[in-house]
Copies of this chain bind each other. A is one copy, B any other.
Amino acid sequence: MLPFKTLIETDKSLKLPVYQQIANRLIGLIQEGILKPGLFLPGSRILAEQLALHRKTVIAAYEELISQDWLVAVPRKGVMVAANLPVIRPRSFRKTVSPYGSEAAFAFHAVPTVPVPLPPPTTGNPLVVNDGFPDARLAPLSAWVRECRSVIESPRYYKLLMYGDATGSEALRREMQTYLTNTRGLSITIDNVMITRGAQMAIYLAAAMIIKKDDYVIVGSPNYFFADLCFEQLGARLIHVPVDEDGIDVAAIEQLCSSRKIKMLYLVTHHHHPTTVTLSAARRMKLLEVIRKYKLPVIEDDYDYDFHYSSAPILPLASADHGGNVIYIGSFTKSLGLSIRIGFMIAPVDFIAGSASLRRLMDLRGDNLTEQALANLLADGTIERHLKKSNKIYRERRDLLCGLLQSRLGDAVQFTVPAGGMAIWLRFSKKISLKKLSEKASRMGMRITSGEQYHYGTTSQNGIRFGFASLNNKEIAEAVAILEKLVK
């Protein structure tokens, strides 16, 4: 008889019933070729004795395996491994080694990634300088949980939760239409609105709908690195056009359009990522002309619109006469300061319908409960009040940080005070190695990026985005004090 005592281990502390542990192990032994088709297993009493278990437990395991066709009960002879199973040459008497190692047995595609998008880890509770996140401590979390509760307590909530559309909850799309009309001057119906998981999904969907392999796509130099990576993943050839203090170089875009087939333009009109510059009025108008003339599909990424301190935000291209070529993308993740990722895409109706079909294949639909709760927060003014409050606080933080950087770091850094958004584009003097700075900061309890990701595919400016929104006054002072020690 096989050494069942060593072959079958059970553990009463596990949640899985012991009889099922035995059954699973027996299946393993059959699959490993140790228990061969046609082999008779020991009677339940004998196996129970060997395993020091109650006989009923073994009987339950055998019955389970009989019902699953692994074993067959042969009258007056006992329980046999099913004869119709293929014969396997046993590998060893050891327990099965996990087939999930560190490497797949098959080939798969490489996905483009950016080097070091995150600062090196530090121990404890580090001070984290991110590249422009909101402060989750200010987020209307209680209001959000309250609205979740109110949704699930509403009559027929269950139908709301069970059935949904890939374009997003109708209530949220309606609120979003009103909100975008009021704040961005867009002229849209709810059929032009699609809710996505954060702006990133909207960028991916829109680009995947437009780009074919080897298509030319124009982006800024530098550009938001996750957009560059996304377009490259979709097979695009990127053409980087310089971004200066007036935004992207529109004359260069026109020149490119006139000389070859450009499939798409991606740009951040407001608070460009990473440099925070805003496209000037003159370039904006010229660009609209180019877009109309060449029927150039454009993704206008306006992730930062709701945060503006020095003047009112400038209306997006999407609000002007772009001839139906501009896909407008934004985010509520930043506005809420929650971990809940909600973005949106505004586009012609047929493009929204196609994007929804594509979204269905990769994510079926969004989370109706969250979307409904957000719609309620938009409708009752919570979001508006939260934005007003955070704009005031973030403006103070921006001013504090800019003042300290100026007075403490002096010539070591260079920056323009951003008109809005959540980060400063902070360029360091050429003699400072950001890689070393990041490593040293880590040892002093501060996580700050080495900035390599901002220069993905473009020329380096030795700069990083320094997010001020998520740090309170004390944390800003601490961060600058650490930087001061490191650059002097």
| A residues adjacent to B (C-beta < 8 A) | 14-16, 20, 23-24, 27-28, 30-32, 64, 67-70, 82, 84-86, 88, 91, 96-106, 108-113, 125, 128, 130, 133, 135-137, 139, 141-142, 145, 148-149, 152, 156-164, 182-183, 185-189, 191-192, 197-198, 200-201, 204-205, 208-210, 212, 226, 229-230, 233, 280-282, 285-286, 288-289, 295-297, 310-312, 314-315, 318-326, 338-341, 346-351, 354, 357-358, 360-370, 384, 470
* 15 A–B contacts, CB within 8 A, in A order: A28-B185, A68-B312, A96-B187, A99-B187, A99-B326, A103-B349, A105-B295, A108-B297, A111-B357, A112-B357, A128-B163, A135-B158, A145-B152, A201-B362, A338-B369
How far in angstroms is the closest Cβ of chain B from A380? 13
B108 touches A209 (CB 8 A): yes
Q: Which of A226, A366, A367 has the largest count of B CB atoms less than 10 A from its CB?
A: A367
Query: With A and B bound together, what is the CA distance between A368 and B370 in angstroms?
Result: 13
B106 touches A133 (CB 8 A): no
Q: Which of A113, A282, A321, A339 has the largest count of B CB atoms less than 10 A from its CB?
A: A339
- Contact A104:B24 (CB < 8 A) given known A321-B31, A361-B200, A364-B200: no
A31 touches B128 (CB 8 A): no
- Contact A99:B323 (CB < 8 A) given known A31-B285, A282-B85, A368-B339: yes
Tell me which residues across on chain B come within 8 A of A100, comparing CB atoms.
186-189, 192, 324, 346-349
- Contact A384:B15 (CB < 8 A) given known A156-B125, A364-B226: yes
Query: With A and B bound together, what is the CA distance between A226 and B288 in angstroms?
Result: 39
B369 touches A339 (CB 8 A): yes
How far in angstroms is the closest Cβ of chain B from A142? 7
Tell me which residues across on chain B come within 8 A of A204, comparing CB atoms.
361-363
Contact pick for A230, options B108, B198, B341, B361, CB 8 Å: B361
A69 touches B282 (CB 8 A): yes
CB-nearest residue of chain B to A291 = B105
B338 touches A161 (CB 8 A): yes
Query: With A and B bound together, what is the CA distance between A31 and B230 in angstroms?
Result: 32
B314 touches A349 (CB 8 A): no
Extra inter-chain contacts (10) besides given A102-B191, A161-B339, CB under 8 Å:
A84-B282, A88-B289, A99-B321, A99-B325, A105-B324, A106-B295, A108-B209, A109-B354, A125-B159, A136-B158
B183 touches A16 (CB 8 A): yes
How far in angstroms is the closest Cβ of chain B from A81? 10
Number of copies: 2
- Contact A348:B85 (CB < 8 A) given known A137-B158, A185-B28, A358-B233: no
Tell me which residues across on chain B come within 8 A of A470, comparing CB atoms.
162
Tell me which residues across on chain B come within 8 A of A20, comparing CB atoms.
312
B226 touches A361 (CB 8 A): yes
Tell me which residues across on chain B come within 8 A of A152, comparing CB atoms.
141-142, 145
How far in angstroms is the closest Cβ of chain B from A308? 11
Tell me which residues across on chain B come within 8 A of A23, comparing CB atoms.
312
Tell me which residues across on chain B come within 8 A of A103, comparing CB atoms.
324, 348-350
Contact pick for A311, options B64, B125, B197, B318, CB 8 Å: B64
How far in angstroms is the closest Cβ of chain B from A392? 16
- Contact A350:B86 (CB < 8 A) given known A226-B360, A384-B15: no
Query: With A and B bound together, what is the CA distance between A109 and B192 in angstroms?
Result: 18
A369 touches B340 (CB 8 A): yes
Query: With A and B bound together, what is the CA distance between A162 and B134 in angstroms?
Result: 8
Query: With A and B bound together, what is the CA distance between A141 and B201 in angstroms?
Result: 27
B364 touches A198 (CB 8 A): yes
Tell me which residues across on chain B come within 8 A of A351, comparing CB atoms.
104, 108
Contact pick for A86, options B130, B200, B282, B296, CB 8 Å: B282
Sorted nearest first, the 4 A-B pairs with minimum C-beta distance are: A98-B187, A161-B339, A136-B158, A105-B324
Query: With A and B bound together, what is the CA distance between A172 and B137 in angstroms?
Result: 23
